Amino acid sequence: MKIGILGYGNLGRGIECAIRQNDDMELVGVFTRRDPSTVKVDSDVPVYSADKLAKMQDQIDVLMLCGGSATDLPKQTAEYARMYNVVDSFDTHARIPEHFERVNAAAIASGKIAMISVGWDPGMFSLNRLYANAILRDGNDYTFWGKGVSQGHSDAIRRIDGVLDAKQYTIPVESALEAVRNCENPELTTRQKHTRECFVVAEEGADLARIEKEIKTMPNYFADYDTTVHFISMEELKRDHAGIPHGGMVLRTGKTGKNGENNHVIEYRLQLDSNPEFTACVLVAYARAAYRMNQRGISGCKTVFDVAPADLSPLSPEEMRAHLL
Amino acid sequence: MKIGILGYGNLGRGIECAIRQNDDMELVGVFTRRDPSTVKVDSDVPVYSADKLAKMQDQIDVLMLCGGSATDLPKQTAEYARMYNVVDSFDTHARIPEHFERVNAAAIASGKIAMISVGWDPGMFSLNRLYANAILRDGNDYTFWGKGVSQGHSDAIRRIDGVLDAKQYTIPVESALEAVRNCENPELTTRQKHTRECFVVAEEGADLARIEKEIKTMPNYFADYDTTVHFISMEELKRDHAGIPHGGMVLRTGKTGKNGENNHVIEYRLQLDSNPEFTACVLVAYARAAYRMNQRGISGCKTVFDVAPADLSPLSPEEMRAHLL
C-alpha cells in the first residue's frame, strides 16, 4: 500500500512514524502547502508541494489528510476524494453529517473511498458507543475525557493578556466515574464529570489574580467547570508539561433479565502518552481498510461504523480466527 | 426480523429476554429436543419439537443455536446452516478453525449466513484484541477473566467424592493488572494472572481435608493456580452464590514514536451480573447483522471480525453518524 501524507504537523509526523510499524505500507511522500524546502521530515521520504497531488494518482493508494477540522478538512477532504482514497480525522462532532454529505458526493463521483472522522473520539470511542448500545438496549451512556491536554483550552488561556504560555489538563472526576461503574446511573452535570487544571506562564509583573479570574470565568471553556490555576515558570512548563497525553473512557451500563434485575458495565478506556501519535495509528489502520474496500469496488464516504474489523488487520482471515478470536 | 431459539437453557432464556428489548425483532418459537410439553417458557411463545425446524424456513429469519460447544454445536450449527441463517456461541477457541470450515461449507451451499463464536469471549473480547492489534502494532496483549463464575471449574469440584454442590470464582490478580496498566509489559505465568476461590458444600461427615487437597491439586483446573477453598452450608451457597456473574478485561499496551518513547494502553472491561444474559444480548445484535447481510446476498460462515458495526444497530446510518459518532 502506497501512502501519501498531506500536512506535516503533529498528526502528519505521527503517521510517518506509524507507517514504519506496518510492513505492508510504504510512505511515498509528504505533501505541504508551505514551501517544501522548509519542511524537514524525519525520514528520507521526499517532500512535495501539495500542487503535485493533481498528477500523482498512479503513485498513491491512500492519501492521509492531516489538516485541522476548523478550516482545512471541510474543503480538503471533498477536494482530494475526487482524486484519491483519503482518510481524515474530522472531529467537529456537530458538523459530521454535513461533512459526510459533501465528501460522499465527491467520493462516489470518483469511485474512491473517503474514510472520515477517524481517530479516538470520533473513532474508537464512537465504535464503542455503537457496540455497547447495540448490546445493552436498555441503559445509559457516559463518556469521560482525560487525564489529558486539551489543545483548544490551552490556546484559549494563551490568548489572555499577560499570558506567555499555558497547558490545560481535562481530568475526569473520580467519584462520578465510580458512581457510573457501580451502576448508579447518575445524571451528571458538566461540572460533576470533569475538572480543569491549568499551568500558566505569566509575563513578569502581570496581574495574576486578574488572569486567574479571566480563566475561571471564561464562558464555554471554563465557567461551567471547577478550575484550578497554577502559575509556573517557562522552565517548569517545558520540563514538566511538554507532552500531549490524553485518553478517557466510554462506558455503558444497562439492565437485562425478566425484571431488569441484572446490571452490566461495558467500559473502554484509553491512556495515551501521545494523542497525535495514537490518532495516527488509528488512521493508518483505517487506510488499510479504505484501500482494501476500494479494491473490492466499494466507493463513497465511510466512517468507522462501516468498516468490518477484519479489514483493519494485516493478518489473514485464517490467522485472525486462529489467534485473535 | 423473526427469530427462533433452539435449546432452552440459560442462554436460550437470555435470548428470550433480549428479544423483548429489541423492537425490530419477534420471537417465533422455542425449539427443543426434549418433549415440548415439559418446557415452560417465560412468555406466551409456542414451544415446538426441534423436528419442526425441517419445515419452518418461511417463518424464521434467524435461528439462535443455544446448545453447548462440547457436543451440540459441532453438529447443530452446520446442520441448521443448511436451512437457516444461524448464530452460535461456539467457544472452544482451539477448535474454531475446524468449526468454521465445516459450517462455511454448509452455509455457502444453502446461501445462508452462519455467524459463529459470538458472545464476549470469543466475541467482544476478540474484537477488542483485533482492533487494538491493528492500532498498536508494537505491543503486548493481555486478557484477564473475572471476577466471575467458571461453570467448568464448578462442575469439576462437584465431581469430587463427598461434594454436594460447589461454585468457583475466577479472580484476576490486582497487582498483575496494575503492572500491565503501568506499561511494565510483565510476562505473567498462569498463577500470576488469576486466583481461584471455591465455595463447597460437603456431605455430612466428609473428609474436608481430602476434598480441599483434591481440589487444589487437580491438574489443568486448579494445580497451576493459588486456590482458596471455603466449606459452606447449602443454605449459604443458595443465598450468597446463586448468580452467574462474570467479566474481565482485554488490554493491549504498545509503543509509538521515533524511538518508541510513548506508551499507550487500550483496555476493554466487562462487569456482568449475568454471563448468559449478556452473551444473549450479543447474539441478538449479531442476529440483526446476519439477517441484514443475508438480505444483501452475502452467505457463508462469518465471525464478529466480518461484521461492520453499523449492521448491529437498529439505528439508521444517519442517526448513528449524528448521535454516536
Rounded to two decimals, the ipTM of the complex is 0.97
Q: Which three cell numbers stand for residue B6?
A: 433452539
Write down the pLDDT at residue B167. Answer: 97
- Residue B281 · residue B14 · CB < 8 Å: yes
CA–CA distance, B146 with A211 (Å, rounded to integer): 49
* Mean of the per-residue pLDDT values of chain B: 97
Residues B211-261 have pLDDT tens digits of: 999 999 999 999 999 999 999 999 999 999 999 999 999 999 999 999 999
Mean pLDDT for each 10-residue chunk of chain A (325 residues)? 97 97 98 96 95 97 96 97 98 95 98 98 98 98 96 95 98 98 96 98 98 97 97 98 97 96 98 98 98 98 98 97 95
Q: CB neighbours (10 Å) of residue B59?
A: 11
If we measure between CA atoms, which residue out of B149, B153, B202 comes closest to residue B10?
B149
Question: How are beta strands B246-256 and B226-231 bridged, if at all?
Answer: unpaired
Write down the pLDDT at residue A211. Answer: 98
- Cβ of A97 and B288 within 8 Å? no
If we measure between CA atoms, which residue out of B96, B223, B68, B99 comes closest to residue B156?
B223
Amino acid (1-letter code) at residue B167: K
Write down the pLDDT at residue B158. Answer: 97
Helix (H) / strand (E) element for A155: namely: helix A151-158
CA distance B177 to chain A (A): 14
Q: What is the mean pLDDT of residues B14-39?
A: 97
Between A21, A256, A262, which is nearest B137 by CB?
A21
Residues B267-322 have pLDDT tens digits of: 999 999 999 999 999 999 999 999 999 999 999 999 999 999 999 999 999 999 99
Whether pLDDT at B43 is above 90: no
Q: Which three cell numbers stand for residue A167?
A: 497547558
CA–CA distance, B258 with A127 (Å, rounded to integer): 28
DSSP A86-135: EE-----GGGHHHHHHHHHHHHHHHT-EEE-S-SBTTBHHHHHHHHHHHH
| Per-window interface: B 261-320 vs A, CB < 8 A | 261-274, 277-278, 280-282, 285, 288, 303-310, 312-315, 317-318, 320
Query: With b meaning 16 or more CB within 10 Å and e meaning fewer, what string describes B117-129?
Result: bbbbbbbbbbbbb
- Residue B56 · residue B4 · CB < 8 Å: yes
Q: What is the mean pLDDT of residues B170-186?
A: 97
Write down the pLDDT at residue A43. Answer: 87
Write down the pLDDT at residue A203. Answer: 98
CA B215 distance to own-chain centroid: 25
Backbone angles phi and psi of B184, in degrees to 5: -85, -5
CA–CA distance, B45 with B59 (Å, rounded to integer): 14
Q: Which three cell numbers stand for residue B173?
A: 490478580
Amino acid (1-letter code) at residue A98: E
CA distance B299 to chain A (A): 15
Between B129, B281, B320, which is nearest A136 by CB?
B281
